[in-house]
């Protein structure tokens, strides 16, 4: 849980940092700049450099919208959606591998059904995140590059922290196995001492 929320918050933080440092104009920035009456044939003498300045935009009623219109890269909705989706899906996929490799006595058909069901469940978060990403393109809020960058950013932090979770779980499991082996050795040595005393 800690790893999930940590990678989620880091994804949000770096998304906001990139929006401020890199930014870029949203596809609907012209609408924000010229107002609701804007059409492609709207007559204007403004140059591109003037449009890039909030002070030169004819629509000055909503400055917050103009400022937000410069924060297209990367897509925040996409990065947050995929942040949860990647982590959950990859964790479930990893769990299916552990089930397949497990030595627990489960008959093969039952094991196969469980693995298939988990794999189907694992795909669901990715479908939802993809829907969110496509909706940002359809609404002209972001470009393909913005959406792709948000997804890659989410994938990076998800993989980093999921790797730590998996490694941590493996270390705990190995430590448990080692403790069990040491305990068996102690019991074996104790039995040998008892047998030696009986022999003497």
Q: Evaluate whether 89 touches 122 at the Cβ level (below 8 Å).
A: yes
Report how far apart, in Å, the C-alpha atoms of 68 and of each of 52, 98, 125, 142, 154 are. 13, 45, 28, 12, 21
Please give the Cα distance from 98 to 179 (Å, whole number).
Answer: 21
The dihedral through the CA atoms of 74, 80, 81, 85 has a sign that is positive
C-alpha 86, offset from chain centre: 4
Q: Copy the structure tokens of residue 115.
A: 């693995």
Please give the Cα distance from 107 to 190 (Å, whole number).
Answer: 38
Tell the residue number behind the tokens 């880091």, with chain if given: 10
Catalytic residue numbers, as ranges: 77, 142
**Backbone phi and psi for residue 95, each to the nearest 5 degrees, phi listed first:** -65, -35
């Amino acid at each position: 849980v800690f790893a999930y929320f940590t990678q989620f918050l880091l994804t949000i933080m770096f998304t906001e940092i990139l929006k401020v440092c890199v930014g870029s104009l949203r596809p609907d920035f012209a609408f924000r700049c010229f107002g609701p009456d804007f059409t492609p044939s709207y007559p204007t003498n403004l140059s591109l450099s003037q449009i890039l300045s909030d002070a030169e935009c004819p629509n000055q009623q909503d400055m917050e919208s103009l400022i937000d219109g410069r924060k297209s890269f990367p897509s925040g909705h996409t990065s947050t959606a995929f942040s949860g989706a990647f982590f959950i899906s990859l964790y479930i996929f990893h769990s299916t591998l552990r089930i397949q490799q497990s030595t627990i006595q489960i008959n093969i058909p039952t094991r196969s059904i469980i693995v298939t069901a988990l794999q189907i469940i694992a795909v669901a978060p990715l479908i939802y995140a993809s829907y969110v990403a496509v909706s940002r393109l359809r609404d002209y809020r972001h470009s393909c590059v913005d959406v792709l960058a948000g997804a890659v950013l989410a994938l990076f932090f998800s993989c980093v922290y999921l790797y730590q979770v998996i490694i941590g779980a493996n270390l705990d499991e190995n430590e448990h196995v080692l403790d069990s082996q040491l305990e068996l050795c102690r019991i074996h040595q104790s039995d040998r001492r008892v047998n030696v005393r009986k022999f003497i």
